[in-house]
Amino acid sequence: MGEEGGAVKAAVLAAPFKSDGADAYVPVLVEVDGPSLLQGKQGPQLPVEIYIYALDSTGAIKGFITQTFGLELTKAEPMLRQGGFKFFGHLDLPPGDWSVRVLVRNGATGALGLRSETVSVPDLAQAGPVLLPAFFPEAQGRWLIVREAPRQGDREVPYPFMAGEEPYVPASLPALVPGRPAKVSLAGYHLRPGELRAEARILTADGREAGTGAIAGLQRLGPTPNGSESLAGTFAPPAGLTPGEYVLMVVLTDAAGGSQTSVTPFVVRG
């Protein structure tokens, strides 16, 4: 329950997807910065501890993941130094607003990092049109991928991040370059037929307007195995955007004038 931050740098992405049960399937992707995790390393194996909790507005715990594992540095250190590792876990959550809190700890040195993200879970079976946060697919090879260990009672669910029939791994905290287009994947449920238009607003971390734009070349790619509809396009932050933390607000408007909104944090590096 401490304050966010710590010596180990991390970023978290969590988003709700429909499942066969009453609860949504919420993948949680934790990106852990390798160089900060390696500070003060001891021995040939790096012990890592991951703790993920979903809390409601009263602080009660609805779901959690805890996992420990070792990284063999003779094999993993080069990739950790150029990027880090990405932990892929999931929570089963009912409709509501949840605080997903993630603690990453180096078991050898005690160094840790704490991050918190809010995820809103709609009733995907009953709700009208729903737009999930914008996802930015990453190129392969930057991250070690660590999957959660199987748990008793886990449901079989299709892989959630799909661009049409192509799976991808999204960035937990996209790093974008002003004026340079980046591929973006949108996912939604119960979207109305016909032409769609996606506008983009850029906000600073404290909510001030920082620019506008659009999701260029927006295409409807059709349904995915997880029941969502996939869309694809590109997004370029406005030229001249200074380094810092921002929020991308996507407004998706259908032919009848109805609109859905989602938000995605991103950074501009120096």
Q: What angle do CA 160, 162, 165 make, to 5 degrees?
A: 130
Q: Under a CB-based contact definition with an 8 Å cutoff, are residues 194 and 218 in contact? A: no
Beta carbons within 8 Å of 261's beta carbon, 6+ residues apart = 131, 249, 250, 251, 252
Domain count, the chain: 1
- The domain spanning residue 80 has which CATH number? 2.60.40.3880
Beta carbons within 8 Å of 16's beta carbon, 6+ residues apart = 24, 25, 26, 93, 119, 120, 121, 122, 124, 132
**DSSP label of 170:** B
Residue 235, pLDDT score? 96
Q: Under a CB-based contact definition with an 8 Å cutoff, are residues 100 and 30 in contact? A: no
Radius of gyration of the chain (CA): 19
Q: In angstroms, what CA-CA distances link 192 with 83, 239, 255?
A: 40, 33, 8
Which of 184, 63, 62 minimizes the C-alpha distance to 131?
A: 184
Residue 73 burial class via C-beta count within 10 angstroms: exposed 0-12, middle 13-18, buried 19 and up:
middle
Residue 2, pLDDT score? 58
CA 248 to chain centre: 13
pLDDT in tens, the chain (270 residues): 557 889 999 999 999 999 888 899 999 999 999 999 999 877 899 999 999 999 999 999 999 999 999 999 999 999 999 999 999 999 999 999 999 999 999 999 999 999 999 999 999 887 789 999 999 999 888 899 999 998 877 778 889 999 988 999 999 999 999 999 999 999 999 999 999 999 999 999 888 999 998 899 999 999 998 889 999 999 999 988 999 999 999 999 998 899 999 999 999 986
What does the alpha-carbon distance between residue 83 and residue 7 come to, in Å, rounded to a whole number?
A: 16
Residue 150 burial class via C-beta count within 10 angstroms: exposed 0-12, middle 13-18, buried 19 and up:
exposed
Residue 260, pLDDT score? 95
Residue 84, pLDDT score? 94
Range of the domain at 81: 5-268
Residue 1, pLDDT score? 55
What does the alpha-carbon distance between residue 29 and residue 123 come to, in Å, rounded to a whole number?
A: 22
